[in-house]
Amino acid sequence: MIYHLALILGFQLLGEVATRTLGTPIPGPVIGMVLFVCVMIASPKLAQDIRGTAMGLLAHLSLLFVPAGVGIVGHVTRLGHELAPILAVIVISTVLSLIVAVYTFLLVAKWVDNDG
């Protein structure tokens, strides 16, 4: 468990160093994630060993957004008269993006499958 945590933090550290060295807009942990996948491809045994720890942490991924979420409460009340239109834009835009993304994925997947 501690070995696994050390390894996971190590990948994040590598990612943070890489994103700063390269000056990319990708966050360090996302680069760490990609590196981690590559290492698991090279060592499938590691993937089996670390699965429990990683899925355990991910099972409560929602919890990790709570501290940042509490921070928005004060800001939300300060948005004043813009709050209602902002919420409307967020909800409509999110629903539209979900629909467009999911149907594009399905259509292209169907098209690729028929072709292959």
Partner 1 sequence: MGEFTEIWTYLSSEPLWWLTATLGAYCIGDLAFRASGRRALVNPVLISVLILAALLFATGTDYPTYFEGAKFIHFMLGPATVCLAVPLYFHLGEVKRALVPIAVALLVGSFMAVGSVVVLGQAFGLSGETILSLMPKSATAPVAMGISENIGGLPTLTAVLVILTGITGAIVVTPLMTLLGIKDFRARGFAVGLTSHGIGTARALQVDETAGAFAGIGMGLNALATAILVPLILVLF
Binding to partner 1 (CB under 8 A) within 68-87 occurs at 68-76, 79, 82, 85-87
Among 2, 65, 80, 114, interactor with partner 1 by CB under 8 A: 65
State the minimum distance, in angstroms, from the CB of residue 21 to partner 1.
Answer: 16
Measure the CA–CA gap between 5 and 30, rounded to whole angstroms. 17
For helices 44-59 and 28-42, the axis angle rounded to 10 degrees is 140
Q: What are the structure tokens assigned to 3, written together?
A: 């070995």
Nearer to partner 1, 17 or 64 (CB): 64
Number of continuous H segments (helices) and E segments (strands) in the chain: 5, 0
Contact call for residue 114 and partner 1 (CB under 8 A): no
Contact call for residue 1 and partner 1 (CB under 8 A): no
Among 3, 17, 20, 108, interactor with partner 1 by CB under 8 A: 108
Among 3, 17, 20, 95, interactor with partner 1 by CB under 8 A: 95
Measure the CA–CA gap between 30 and 41, rounded to whole angstroms. 17
Among 1, 23, 112, 114, interactor with partner 1 by CB under 8 A: 112
Measure the CA–CA gap between 38 and 10, rounded to whole angstroms. 14
Q: What are the structure tokens assigned to 77, written together?
A: 């009340």
Contact call for residue 17 and partner 1 (CB under 8 A): no
What is the 8-class DSSP label of residue 23? T
Size of the site for partner 1 (CB under 8 A): 71
